[in-house]
Amino acid sequence: MTDSKGYILIVDDDSALRRALSTRLEAAGYAVGSVASGEAALQVCEHDPPDAVILDVTLPGMDGYQVCERIRETVDRPVGVIFLTGTTHAGTSGCLPQLVRQSGGDYFVAKPYDCGVLLGLLRRGLAAPSLENEEALV
């Protein structure tokens, strides 16, 4: 991982999305891990904390908000969290930015996503000590 731009963990129950996003991030120079559940994400974060997590809201078991809260409670270094959620979820919840912020998330991006936007957020966030800032939500 020393030659990579950073280690990114993708957490989404859609295996096709995980594969496609992994391919794009690896091509951009990131080391990538991926899991299908929040529980698996927490296990990875406990043993090998990533630099950033791309996290779906709707997951089997615990939801993405709960996962983000647990990451913030248990990982002892900054981990950027980008929520990647379906447009139907984003569109039906007028308070999505508030929920993302309350759970400790840094950004959210609606599906279908623009990989260029995700890469830009990762470049911007991983260059700083933390992704936290007052204009973090997009």
Q: What is the pTM of this model?
A: 0.84
Which one has a higher pLDDT value, 68 or 126?
68
pLDDT surpassing 90 at residue 39: yes
pLDDT of residue 22 exceeding 90: yes
When divided into structural domains, the chain yields a total of 1
Q: Which of 67, 49, 52 lies closest to 120, judged by CA?
A: 52
Give the CATH number of the domain where residue 48 resides. 3.40.50.2300
Residue 66: inside a domain: yes
Residue 2 forms part of a structural domain: no
CB contact at 8 A, 10 and 32: yes
Residue 34 Rama label (left phi>0; alpha psi -120 to 50; beta):
beta
Do 24 and 10 contact (CB within 8 A), yes or no? no
Least confident of 57-66, 75-84, 118-127: 118-127
